[in-house]
Amino acid sequence: MSFLRYLRKINTQLQLPTRLERQFSNAGTKSAILQYEKDPQPQFTDTETQRLLQSMTQMQLDKVFRKRTVPDNDNEIKFMTTEQLENEFVKMIEKAKHQLQMPPVVKVKQDTERIISKDPALKDFQNTKFVFTDITYGLRQSDRKVVVRDVDGTLSYAPLETQKRMNQLYFPLKGRTFHTPRMFSEQEYLQRCLDDHKYEFVLDRLTVQYEPYELDFHQISAQVFQHLNESKEFDQLRSTRHFGPMAFFYAWHHCIDDLLYDMIRRDYLQNAVELIALSYKLHNVPVEFRKTISELDALQPTPEKRALNQLLSSLKSKEEHEGIQQEIQTAIGKAESDFAADEISLKFIEAYIASEHALKKVQLELAVQTLKEINLEKLQLYHGLKKAHGMHAS
Amino acid sequence: MAVRLLQKSIAQVYSNTILNQFGSSANVLPVTPYTISYRNTSFFNKLPADEIWRGVTAVSNAGKKRGRGKGSGKKIAKDLNKGQTIGLGKKNVIWPGLNAPIVRGNDLIRQQKLPECLDREKHIINLRDSMGRFRMMRLSPIDRGWSGTKIPGRSIGPPDTVGEEYDFFDTRVLENKIVFIMKGNMGRKRRYSVLSITGNGNGLGGFATAKAPEVRTALRKSKNRAGQKLMNINLCENRTIFHDFYTGFGKTKIFVCKKPDGYGLICHRAIQTICKVIGIKDLYAKIEGSTNLQHIVKAFFIGLLQQKSYQNISDVTNFHIVEYQKEKNGFTEIKAIPHSTSKIPNKNHVIDLAQYVLEKRNVLRKKAIPTFYLHSKGHNLFVTKQERFRNHETVRLYKSLHGK
């Protein structure tokens, strides 16, 4: 326990300079690209973090399954029984989950020279290097052995670049090219993409072209996220696989306020709480957030469940929707549990704004105030409607 | 005259051979060259020029009655003889006996060169130009029909306003042909029959045939009649049909398939035109049997009108109808839910919707016949030789794009 306290103490001491650094970087974000100073992987792959990120990503099915350009766009019309349709919906949710699988955030892998043997006898046998690749079928890219025999007779494991190239040569990955696409090699082109707000396109291509442990991957993704933080087009990445890494990036680098503001403005209060909780978790801030999160979880369904319910509700014919309570809920867009959840989340968010961690306090306070007023109106309307229909107001 | 000429020539050939046999040249008279005509009779020497000329450019009376020689009104060939007479040419020469009398008064006229007449050439060219040139009727490519300057496939504008307005309507001719009937006093009487279709490109369409002795009248009549016979056709997503269907009329059988956005109209040209006028953009249709145009049109319209709505099919079969959308990565959208949910069968045996809408017909899908040289020795050799170049094109394209 004392050890933990000691760690926290160190952490608080450490936070001061980092924040100063961040403020400095905020002044000229374009010049400085933020980097993960230590390995983010253990924090990122942690179950709790993953759950928070998934919940923040949401699962808006019409966004996950949006229209894309495909070689075959033929639609198939089928008969189905209710049972089959329900199974189909479950499958669709599985598919959506697969689509939303986040690319991992790991540290940059350093190239180390690993020599297997030095054979001076083979020196100048040839005036070129020889690369040997194990092309056994079914190996993982990282497990594939690639070794190089140098001109001076040294046999060593190939550097990462060569390894990637050989993998691409024998087992090409669709969409990955040998030459770096100009979009990534030339800043001018990347900047144009970013200015057009084609964030998802850039990130998708980045994920295909690079491995997550490459330096370029880190630098370009950081650049995209920083640009996004300025343009505030967060909604573009919502319900895509890049939302999680983006939120993680902001939480790690102490710049969640803009995203938080966007979430409050769009009435995604639970997500806002989760974002704050993530930031607390990453920086070991001594605030108890797990209780609030579990309370909220009890009140609100997970994104997957919500999506499945939405699908299943379309299955019911109009007569089955008849419950007046349901009708009121759909008219207002909120149920009783939502109002309760909002109250808990607002309390948590206000506590955050009041604390020293929030930077854009005035803006956030205003957003919260506006939301509160709207919520109050909705609540009054909700109760009024219930009364009018002769139901007990709880 | 001709017979005599032939006798003479035979006699000459005979005498020549005899002389050659004896080999003596002392008594031989000089032989003047003769043009030998072996054909004694032909229309060239039987008919006068104007009749021959008419035979080239005109049609016989009987032919005209049968509708032949439609191009006879146009100038097909030019009479290059016009303005030219024998004896008068480029060089202005007096030939006594040919273009001048031999004796004038007491003088004998001699052959004589006169100064060149410069206007003659110009005069002939002017004459030829005035005859008119054969020229194809020029049509803007947009206005063209199915073939050349023929009317079928061409637009003839919206129906005339009679009571109601036909805004945004367009009429297209599908068939234009000559038909005959027998009349008591006039005998075989010729008329033009025109089949045309009109529509507003948004689900309204109508077709009609009309006959008239003049093409123009027939076109107008059929256009206006089509405007009076409009039918409402429901379009799926405002671009295609609701489901595949089979339809027929007479010996014409049509299989029509619903197609995704951007597919286009892959079907008979008449069906294409109908679809364009009605507002269908994506469809595939295959005609089996007779391609009688009137039957195609009737069959296609019957098929369009007999389509069932999803809700209707769902109510009858008690199944949900869903659409599996490949462009949305396999998103399954509910199209219709049966009216009475209690009756939904719980068994997992589901009938095929394609079978249901095609009324248990199976469309014959022929396999593509492989080319005759496939797997032949030469072709196999070619393929093995070509293999090493297989990626060159893409690499060249890549290099031209990226400059590396």
**Predicted pLDDT of residue B34:** 64
- Decide: helix, strand or coil at residue B20: helix
**Predicted pLDDT of residue B10:** 46
Other C-beta atoms within 10 Å of A57: how many?
24
Nearest-CA distance from A101 to chain B in Å? 16
**Predicted pLDDT of residue B360:** 86
Nearest to A79 among B261, B353, B404 (CB): B353
Instruction: Give bridge partners of residue A224 from the DSSP assignment.
Output: none
Smallest CA–CA distance from A320 into chain B, residue: B341
- The whole-angstrom separation of Cα A239 and Cα A59 is 5
Q: Which residues of A touch B243 (CB under 8 A)?
A: 77
**Predicted pLDDT of residue A392:** 63
**Predicted pLDDT of residue B347:** 64
Nearest-CA distance from A47 to chain B in Å? 28
Split at pLDDT 50, 70, 90, the class of A362 is: very high
Q: Express each pLDDT in A321-338 by its tens digit.
A: 557 777 787 788 888 888
Domains: count for chain B: 1
Q: What is the ipTM for the molecules in this complex?
A: 0.80
Average pLDDT estimate for A7-18: 45
Shortest CA distance to A315 belongs to which of B321, B380, B2?
B321
Q: Is residue B141 part of a domain?
A: no
Q: Is residue B295 part of a domain?
A: no
Q: Which residues of B touch A81 (CB under 8 A)?
A: 319-320, 344-348, 350
CB contact under 8 A, A82 and B321: no
Split at pLDDT 50, 70, 90, the class of A99 is: very high
Q: Which residues of B touch A75 (CB under 8 A)?
A: 260, 323-327
- The whole-angstrom separation of Cα B354 and Cα A193 is 45
The answer on pLDDT for A103 being more than 60 is yes
Q: Which residues of A touch B334 (CB under 8 A)?
A: 85, 314-315
Shortest CA distance to A251 belongs to which of A259, A241, A262?
A259
Is B334 an 8 Å CB contact of chain A? yes
Is B400 an 8 Å CB contact of chain A? no
Nearest to B350 among A68, A73, A79 (CB): A79
Span of A102-111, A116-125, A273-282, B12-21 with lowest mean pLDDT: B12-21
Average pLDDT estimate for A86-96: 95
Is B399 an 8 Å CB contact of chain A? no
Tens of each residue's pLDDT in chain B, 404 residues = 444 444 444 444 444 444 444 444 445 555 555 666 677 788 778 888 888 887 777 778 787 777 676 654 555 667 788 888 888 888 889 888 888 889 988 889 888 888 888 888 888 888 888 877 666 677 888 889 999 889 999 999 999 998 888 999 999 999 999 999 999 998 889 999 999 999 999 999 999 999 999 999 999 999 999 999 999 999 999 999 999 999 999 999 999 999 999 999 999 999 999 999 999 999 999 999 999 999 999 999 999 999 999 999 999 888 899 999 999 999 999 999 988 766 666 666 678 898 899 988 888 888 999 999 999 999 999 999 999 999 999 989 988 987 76
CB contact under 8 A, B353 and A83: no
- The whole-angstrom separation of Cα B197 and Cα B275 is 10
Smallest CA–CA distance from A80 into chain B, residue: B320
Split at pLDDT 50, 70, 90, the class of A223 is: very high
CB contact under 8 A, B328 and A66: yes
Smallest CA–CA distance from A69 into chain B, residue: B327
Q: Which of residues 231-250 of B touch A (CB under 8 A)?
A: 243
Mutant choice from B311, B312, B324, B391 vs A, greatest count of A C-beta within 10 A: B324
Nearest-CA distance from A69 to chain B in Å? 7
Q: Which residues of A touch B327 (CB under 8 A)?
A: 67-70, 73, 75
Q: What is the mean pLDDT of chain A?
A: 88
Cα-to-chain-centroid distance, residue B138: 15
Q: Express each pLDDT in A243-271 by its tens digit.
A: 999 999 999 999 999 999 999 999 999 99
Higher pLDDT, B44 or A294: A294
Split at pLDDT 50, 70, 90, the class of A20 is: very low
Nearest-CA distance from A326 to chain B in Å? 20
Mutant choice from B281, B314, B316, B331 vs A, greatest count of A C-beta within 10 A: B331
Q: Which residues of B touch A78 (CB under 8 A)?
A: 321-324, 350, 353
- Decide: helix, strand or coil at residue B147: coil
Q: Is residue B296 part of a domain?
A: no
Write down how long chain A is: 394
Q: Is residue B325 part of a domain?
A: no
Q: Is residue B223 part of a domain?
A: no
Domain extent for B19: 1-33
Q: What is the DSSP string of B278-341?
A: HT--SEEEEEEE---HHHHHHHHHHHHHT---HHHHHHHHT-EEEEEEGGGTSEEEEEE--S-G
Average pLDDT estimate for A213-237: 95
